[in-house]
Amino acid sequence: MCPSHGIEISLYLRSPSCSGLLAIQSNDTNDTNDTPRMRTPFLEEVRDNTQLVPRKHKVSPSVQNETNALNDCKKYLDNLSQKISDSEKKIADSRNVIVDSVKVFADLKKKRDIEVGKKEKEKEKHEKLLRKLRGLKIKDSSRKCTICMDREKNAVILPCGHTTCMECATEVYLESNQRCPICRADIEDMNPLYFD
């Protein structure tokens, strides 16, 4: 019986599971021990020598190639991991630059909006002033005599109600057979015109 695997071996047979050592089965029925007896001193010597010398494991070329391939893969993965780490740092830096740019852009937009608001208010002020000036010019031109375009209107012709300066109204009244120079209606009377 093989002590390590419990395999029974016949006389002079080689067991692959016992590392090539021969074990001889004991046929002695008087032996009360369960362990087999070794009858050759050669086997005892081999057993003693195998215990003293450490066994060297031979590595097959295919296993060596696979080990080398695994080492190469490990180096490649380590290199790839380093590249990924570097790329992540670059991405983080780029992200920070983008965030800073967005903040600067927002600040510039806010300043621009403030400036545009100020300019729009100034434009509204100027337009309001221009409207006032135009209104004054219209009022001023509406007060000018429509006949001479020089003096202010200060006379009203009745019954039509057209207005002229007193000089033009008197002149028209005296020379044009008492007809209104604007609508040619008969003039019944002229009155002075007063503005507030």
For the stretch 33-67, pLDDT in tens is 444 554 566 666 666 665 555 556 677 888 889 99
Domain count, the chain: 3
CATH of the domain at 166: 3.30.40
Q: Quick one: which of 31, 9, 35, 33 has its CA closest to 21?
A: 9
Output the pLDDT for position 51.
Answer: 57
- Written as six digits, the tokens of 192 are 């002075």
Q: Is the peptide bond before 159 cis (omega within 30 degrees of 0)?
A: yes
Domain residue limits at 18: 1-54
Alpha-helix runs per DSSP H in the chain: 41-52, 61-142, 166-175
User: Position 136: which residue type?
Assistant: L
Q: What is the pTM of this model?
A: 0.32
- Is 144 in contact with 123 (CB distance < 8 Å)? no
- Same domain for 15 and 74? no
